[in-house]
Structure 1
Amino acid sequence: MFFTLLLVTFLLAVAVSYGVVKSFEKPMVAIFNRIIQDPISDVWPKYIKFAAFVVGISGGVRIYQLERYISAPHEGAEVLVLNAERWTLEVYRTIIETLQSLAWMYLVVFIFVLIAFVILKGFELKHDKRIEQDKA
């Protein structure tokens, strides 16, 4: 029963991660093409996609939490029984933890992208002012 739970949580975390990665795929490509105007801009969205899968799956499949079903947390404690209610909780936790992990990862990515965008915009404005001064 434990191995089935492990497999179900893994597959669920993969599916949720896939859905989130797919929904952010086009915006990530557009953002990196705007910020990095070089062929290397194609690599960054691929890396972010890979990182999102790693973060989503590791956040959704909580091995230490699942260990409660195969060994007692300390002496005198009982091993938890996998019943329908616990399955429901574990499936729900997997979905929520996967989404939460991905939300934090994308927040950090977008903060750094926003900083890069502001810096890039500042250089563009400075360059435009210099061109206007040269024309005058």
Structure 2
Amino acid sequence: MFLTLLLVTLVVASVVSLVVALVFSKPIDSILKRIIADEISVAWLKYLKFAILVVGVSAGVRIYELEKYITPERWDKDARIVLLTTERWVLELYRTIIEALQGIAWLLLVFFVFALIAYVIVRIAELRQGGTAGQAKV
């Protein structure tokens, strides 16, 4: 039963991560093309999609939390293995979805903060180039 739970959480976390990667693919691509006006933006987009998948799966499948279904607590002598009931399955699937989304949300937050900083730098550089080009024409 534990192996089934592990496999199901892996599949659920993977599906959630794939959906998020697909949803955010176009916005991330637009941002990267604006900041990095070069062919390398495609490689960065692929890397960010990969990072979304890795972070989503690693955050969604919590191995240490799932250990309670195969081993008792180490510090408690009277502890027993937690039984996998229907309620536990629902709870674990809910946790998988929420944790995967939370991990991806942090990743995207960090990306968008740095993208915003990079956008401001690019915009300032463009304004300075436009100002010096305008002065040269006069």
TM-score by length of 1: 0.97
- Counterpart code for 1:4: T
**Aligned equivalent of 1:51:** 51
**Aligned equivalent of 2:62:** 62
**Aligned equivalent of 2:89:** 87
Q: Aligned partners of 1:84 and 1:62: how far apart in 2?
A: 19
1:76 Cα offset (Å): 2.4
Q: Alignment partner of 2:25: what SS? A: helix
Unaligned 5+ segments in structure 1 are none
State the identity %.
52
- Counterpart code for 2:97: I
- Counterpart code for 1:70: I
1:41 maps onto 2:41 in alignment: yes
Q: Aligned partners of 1:28 and 1:41: how far apart in 2?
A: 10
Unaligned 5+ segments in structure 2 are none
1:117 Cα offset (Å): 0.5
1:30 Cα offset (Å): 1.3
**Aligned equivalent of 2:117:** 115
Q: Alignment partner of 1:118: what SS? A: helix
**Aligned equivalent of 2:18:** 18
Q: Alignment partner of 2:72: what SS? A: coil
CA deviations over 1:53-100 (Å, ceiling 9, x no partner)? 000000000000000000012232111000011001000000000000
Match among 99, 102, 117 for residue 100 of structure 1:
102
Match among 76, 79, 95 for residue 78 of structure 2:
76
1:135 Cα offset (Å): 1.5
- Counterpart code for 2:87: E
